[in-house]
Amino acid sequence: MKNKFVIKVAEEKHLPYAQTIVDEMETSAKMRGTGIAKRSPEFIEKKMMEGKAVIALTTSGEWAGFCYIESWSHGQFVANSGLIVNPQFRKSGLAKEIKERIFQLSRNRYPKAKIFGLTTGLAVMKINSDLGYEPVTYQELTTDEEFWSGCKSCINYDILMAKERKNCMCTAMLYDPEESVMKKLKGRRLDFSKNSKLYERYMRIKKSRLIRLFVKPQNPVIK
């Protein structure tokens, strides 16, 4: 697996892959039936030109995966967003490798930043947890309006707003460089794999409760 893909910081020569990446992001979101913040090919190209994206290709040059960095609150917060793996290469550890690479890149470029993610995906939660992220409340994330306005194109945006940005379908996870050092010193780290069943259950309950708030009964009771 390790030698099958070339994983590197994207640059100008990778611009032609932008449209494929955007198309796959949209297709995958539709397949999952979940919300997604929409990205344009121009946006992806900009990330590549700024050296804020990681791309994975096969040794024959076929696109295999992608992820990019965004920074908020004047660089105090960083998100590794838009993780996507070509469906034919999924479940072989590629997302994990891409996330490790983009995490390193984020740490190098923004050593003091808190790195966070919002996701409904168990795979991503697992990878994040291995990297040292911990689940947090939304209040611990950036308050940067620009970040939250990225959620406008998500199908769950009404839920987010109704909950006054305090909760939604996504689980928030955060890597705090300062806390991480403390936890390493104390030997205290959350083991996600031991708790993944609990998370699955928590997410099911959260989803059903949040959705219930928004689905009107078919036959309302007339008083």
Among 46, 107, 109, 126, binds ligand COA (CB under 6 A): 126
Q: Phi/psi zone of residue 73: left (φ > 0), alpha (ψ -120 to 50 degrees), beta?
A: left
The angle formed by the CA atoms of residues 7, 10 and 14, to the nearest 5 degrees, is 105
Closest CA to 84 of 65, 103, 98, 69: 65
Query: Binding to ligand COA by residue 131, rule CB under 6 A?
Result: no
Query: Binding to ligand COA by residue 135, rule CB under 6 A?
Result: no
Site mask for ligand COA (CB under 6 A), range 56-85, x = bound: ---------------------------xxx
Do the Cβ atoms of 58 and 75 come closer than 8 Å?
no
Among 22, 48, 94, 168, binds ligand COA (CB under 6 A): 94
Query: Binding to ligand COA by residue 46, rule CB under 6 A?
Result: no
Pairing of strands 114-119, 5-9: unpaired
Total number of residues that touch ligand COA (CB under 6 A): 18
Helices 41-49 & 18-32, crossing angle to 10 degrees? Answer: 120
Among 18, 21, 78, 95, binds ligand COA (CB under 6 A): 95
Query: Binding to ligand COA by residue 28, rule CB under 6 A?
Result: yes
User: What is the rounded CA–CA span in Å between residue 174 and residue 100?
Assistant: 15
Query: Binding to ligand COA by residue 91, rule CB under 6 A?
Result: yes
Query: Binding to ligand COA by residue 38, rule CB under 6 A?
Result: no
- 58: which DSSP letter? E
Give the footprint of ligand COA on this chain (CB under 6 A).
Answer: 28, 83-85, 90-96, 119, 121-124, 126-127
